[in-house]
């Protein structure tokens, strides 16, 4: 169905496909990063089943290996073994820590490293990561005594960390970001007193769940679980972790199955942590044909299989700041879904999208407009007039994995074929996306 040219990573995408069959999405990216990091500072061996074998977790693993942690090869279907070095066992790396394209890697590394007294670390990343704001992490860590320096007054990578003795603190985070929260929680593990993080809204809680499982002295309280308290000093113990499939990757198939006539899909082993299921809430409001089956609990995270089939009349939707933290990575594919709804959809309160791997509001508006979509871009969202015919054209992921996969789904319903430049971006979170895309169409 598609072909890739080695030089440009451009892919020919044919319209008119209907999707059917079963798909098992790769492991959750957020949980994979955390398993690697917490396993590294635990005592003993941690085993991880289902760890996402993709570029972003590879970046985290390579940083940790540079600091003396033995992590076995990360390969599809292979259990990963991490030989933990204990809370204080990370060594000073000889090389710069390269975080690649991964915001989670660099931000969680900051939290992990600021308390390594007397040790020096330099962190950098690719073109995209070097433009993303880091002060949102450096600033709260500074309240604990951290030293983080970098371009643009400490906001941009490359960043340098000089490990300090940290103090416990009560910190209110300015945005509901699991990356900021998790960085503070990591720093809190080696502080000299208790730390409390207060979020403006609940962001994904994988760190809290997993740190508790590893034996950290962490409690969650306050209104809707927004106050997280950590008492330092607890020894983390190696665990056996099973990583569920990533709902953010499942989202492409959920939308594809809903919008393409004749489609019928089962997406297996999807993580259903309530801090991540905003996409399901919206699809239900759109009257999509979804059914969750085989609900179960896997290693402290809720999991299920999702059946989805084509819906003739998808309803338009309105989402705002309240739900954004629960679907922050699904806004690009929701923008695609909105193009095929019967009416006008509104996305607001989503200015965080502007500081992701790309400015996702601008990029999705630009690329979908090139296909003929009727979209207005606002400072914090999009207004999408559904029901306009889309046309195949030359598209560009602009290096963003979620944009690449979202656009691929849009081309299924366009009139005429498309070419997607920089389609290889998908490998950041879903290396087999193009294989699954082809297989589900046949
Ligand atoms: C992530 C948190 C989110 C999300 C990112 C992964 C994490 O970012 O967009 O893909 O693993 O903590 P923010 O925490 O900045 O919203």
Whether ligand 1 lies within 6 angstroms of the CB of 30 is answered as yes
Average pLDDT over residues 126-130: 98
User: DSSP E strands: which ranges in 118-221?
Assistant: 120-124, 148-150, 156-162, 170-172, 195-198, 217-221
Kindly indicate the confidence band of residue 8, based on its pLDDT and cuts at 50, 70 and 90.
low
Q: How far apart are CA 256 and CA 172, in angstroms?
A: 39
Average pLDDT, the chain: 96
Q: How far apart are CA 68 and CA 429, in angstroms?
A: 25
177 lines ligand 1 (CB under 6 A): yes
User: For residue 29, which atom of ligand 1 is closest to its CA?
Assistant: 11
Q: For residues 307 and 321, what is the distance between their CA atoms, to the nearest angstrom?
A: 28
pLDDT digits (tens, 9 = 90+) for 284-330: 999 999 999 999 998 789 999 999 999 999 999 999 999 999 999 99
Strands (E), 213-313: 217-221, 227-231, 240-242, 264-271, 289-298, 301-309
Q: With bands split at pLDDT 50, 70 and 90, how would you rate the model's confidence at 442?
A: confident
Q: Give the tokens for residue 388.
A: 């306009």
24-42 confidence digits (pLDDT tens):
999 999 999 999 999 999 9
pLDDT at 4: 41
Q: Which residues contact 96 (CB under 8 A, 6 or more apart)?
A: 122, 123, 124, 158
Residue nearest to atom 13 of ligand 1 (CA): 177
With a 6 A CB cut-off, is 32 part of the ligand 1 pocket?
A: no
Which is nearest to 81 in space by CA: 70, 93, 92?
70
CA distance 430 to 436: 10
In sign, the C-alpha dihedral spanning 368, 373, 379, 383 is negative
- Indicate if the alpha-carbon torsion angle 48, 51, 53, 55 is positive or negative: negative
Beta pairing partners, 296: 303
- How would you classify the pairing of strands 394-396 and 418-421? parallel
| CA gyration radius, the chain | 21
What pTM was estimated for this model as a whole? 0.97
- Quick: pLDDT tens for 34-79: 999 999 999 999 999 999 999 999 999 999 999 999 999 999 999 9
Confidence band of 174 (pLDDT split at 50, 70, 90): confident
Q: How far is the CA of 176 from the centre of ligand 1 (A)?
A: 10
Q: Is the pLDDT of residue 5 over 50?
A: no
Once rounded to an integer, what is the mean pLDDT over residues 174-196?
97
* pLDDT confidence band for 173 (50 / 70 / 90): very high
**Residues with a known catalytic role:** 329
């Amino acid at each position: 169905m598609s072909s890739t040219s080695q030089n440009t990573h451009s892919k020919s995408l044919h319209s008119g496909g209907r999707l059917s069959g079963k798909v098992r999405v790769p492991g959750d990216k957020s949980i994979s990063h955390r398993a690697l990091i917490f396993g590294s500072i635990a005592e003993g061996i941690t085993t991880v089943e289902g760890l996402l074998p993709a570029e972003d977790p590879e970046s985290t693993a390579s940083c940790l290996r540079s600091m003396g942690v033995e992590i076995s090869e990360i390969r599809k279907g292979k259990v990963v073994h991490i030989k933990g070095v204990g809370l204080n066992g990370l060594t000073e790396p000889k090389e710069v820590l390269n975080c690649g394209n991964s915001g989670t890697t660099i931000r969680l590394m900051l939290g992990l490293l600021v308390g390594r007294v007397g040790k020096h670390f330099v962190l950098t990343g690719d073109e995209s990561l070097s433009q993303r704001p880091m002060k949102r992490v450096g600033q709260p860590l500074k309240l604990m005594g951290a030293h983080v320096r970098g371009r643009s007054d400490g906001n941009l990578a490359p960043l340098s960390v000089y490990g300090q003795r940290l103090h416990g603190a009560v910190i209110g985070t300015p945005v509901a970001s699991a990356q900021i929260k998790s960085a503070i929680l990591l720093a809190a593990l080696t502080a000299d007193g208790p730390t409390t993080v207060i979020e403006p809204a609940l962001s994904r809680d994988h760190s809290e769940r997993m740190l508790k499982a590893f034996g950290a002295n962490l409690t969650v309280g306050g209104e809707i679980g927004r106050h997280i308290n950590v008492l330092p000093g607890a020894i983390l113990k190696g665990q056996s972790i099973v990583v569920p499939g990533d709902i953010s990757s499942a989202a492409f198939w959920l939308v594809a199955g809903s919008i393409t006539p004749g489609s019928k899909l089962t997406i297996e082993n999807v993580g259903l942590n309530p801090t991540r299921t905003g996409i399901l809430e919206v699809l239900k409001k759109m009257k999509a044909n979804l059914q969750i089956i085989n609900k179960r609990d896997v290693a402290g995270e809720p999991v299920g299989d999702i059946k989805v089939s084509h819906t003739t009349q998808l309803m338009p939707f309105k989402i705002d700041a309240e739900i954004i933290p629960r679907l922050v990575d699904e806004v690009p594919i929701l923008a695609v879904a909105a193009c095929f709804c019967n009416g006008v959809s509104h996305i607001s309160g989503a200015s965080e999208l502007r500081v992701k791997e790309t400015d996702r509001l601008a990029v999705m508006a630009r690329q979908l407009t090139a296909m003929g979509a009727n979209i207005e871009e606002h400072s914090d969202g999009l207004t999408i007039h559904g029901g306009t015919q889309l046309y195949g054209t030359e598209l560009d992921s602009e290096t963003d994995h979620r944009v690449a996969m979202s656009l691929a789904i849009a081309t299924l319903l366009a009139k005429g074929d498309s070419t997607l430049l920089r389609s290889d971006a998908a490998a950041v979170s879903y290396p087999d996306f193009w294989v699954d895309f082809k297989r589900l169409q046949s």
